[in-house]
Homo-oligomer: A and B are copies of this chain.
Amino acid sequence: MAQPIKRIGVLTGGGDCPGLNAVIRAVVKDAIFHGIEVMGIEDGFLGLIRNRIRKLDWDDVSNILTQGGTILGSSNKANAKRFYVGKDENGEPRFEDVTDRCMEHYKEHKLDALVVIGGDGTMSAAAEFVERGVNCIGVPKTIDNDLVGTDLTFGFQTAVQIATDALDRVHTTAASHHRAMVVEVMGRNAGWIALHAGVASGSDVILVPEIEFDIDRVCKVCEDRGRKGKRFTIVCCSEGAKPKGGKQVIERTDPTSPDPIRYGGISKLVADEIEKQTGIESRYVVLGHVQRGGTPVAADRILATIFGDHAMELLKNGKFNRLVAWQDGGLTDVPLMESAGRQRTIPEGHHLIAAAKSVGTDFGA
């Protein structure tokens, strides 16, 4: 039989996401209630590498439920297997495997398990420690809601609400000025935020990575609306939306950038093309980081709390190396690496796409 858990570590990895603190709070409060000590590991796995680990008490997690960000800090890239340690004599970056060092810190703090809150990358990093015998529970985190194995992740609904509020605001400008307004929301590989915010705001066109769009069709929507007396068009566009293959009318603004789409490329290009083809004045807005910070909506605070609670349930029951999940309207859990290297994209025929089409929304294809 598994020995009882006496002390655990908790860390947050990857990008900011409303609800991280709510998970930490739930984990710490539940643990303390059950006589388990919690050590907070700072800045994701970087804290395990650098031994920046501190005890978390009840007071540390009071009043953090409503706060965005993470009190533990985060890091995007820390990887114990391949940790950047400076440059060699030729100016080339040098990497080391610091897993042993991490294990020493893990043992030094007498940890019995880790609660790892993060996305795909963070779970992959965790999997390496599982191989070394560490007990891990994963809590899935992605603003984009694109992790395989869970229907819903915290932070997503906050992002949708923020995007919807912005689309509502832009709507009045578009209508007053008879413009096309293109609003770019997060979502590189999956268009969940665009789809939800687009439906919630009644956008006329929604462009998502899953459906390659035809810019001519988007222009035609703008013109058709004009003919019906609607002198404006709202386009809600994922950052990862892609123009149709063979006919790439849209060019990158900055072709030398290693990540050219990152800086609001697609919405600017869609807006420019609409204005060029139709003569309709067009503007774009890239919501960017505003979508992933700040206080979570109520639904995300709740989801994050029950995710944290379920992580502790698994842990107390010795059910390790599982990823907390939400499926079919209920709490469950899946193997830790369930989502590794895969993305949950919008399936063809999703009911929200059908509903959007039935109220007149166009997907540019």
Please give the residue numbers on chain A whose beta carbons come within 8 Å of chain B beta carbons, in ascending order: 12, 15-16, 20, 25-26, 29-30, 33, 43, 62, 65-70, 73-76, 151, 157, 160-166, 168-178, 181, 196-197, 199-202, 230-231, 253-254, 263-264, 268, 283-290, 292-294, 297-299, 301-302, 305-306, 309-310, 312, 327-331, 351-352, 354-356, 358-360
Decide if B298 touches A160 in the complex (CB within 8 Å).
Answer: yes
Indicate how many identical chains form the complex: 4
Decide if A16 touches B305 in the complex (CB within 8 Å).
Answer: no
Chain B, Cβ-Cβ closest to A356:
B305
* Interface of A (DSSP majority class): helix
Decide if A176 touches B70 in the complex (CB within 8 Å).
Answer: yes
Decide if A293 touches B169 in the complex (CB within 8 Å).
Answer: yes
CB distance from A229 to the nearest CB of B (A): 8
Q: How distant is the Cα of A52 from the Cα of B151 in the complex, in angstroms?
A: 44
Decide if A73 touches B290 in the complex (CB within 8 Å).
Answer: no
Decide if A285 touches B288 in the complex (CB within 8 Å).
Answer: yes
Q: How distant is the Cα of A69 from the Cα of B174 in the complex, in angstroms?
A: 8
Decide if A305 touches B199 in the complex (CB within 8 Å).
Answer: yes
Residues of B within 8 A of A360 (CB): 29, 33
What are some 6 contacts across the A-B interface (CB < 8 A)? A20-B176, A33-B358, A69-B173, A73-B176, A74-B176, A162-B169
Instruction: Give me the 8 closest cross-chain CB pairs, A-B, nearest first.
Output: A69-B172, A169-B294, A68-B172, A329-B329, A69-B176, A200-B298, A169-B293, A173-B293
Q: How distant is the Cα of A76 from the Cα of B177 in the complex, in angstroms?
A: 8
Decide if B170 touches A293 in the complex (CB within 8 Å).
Answer: yes
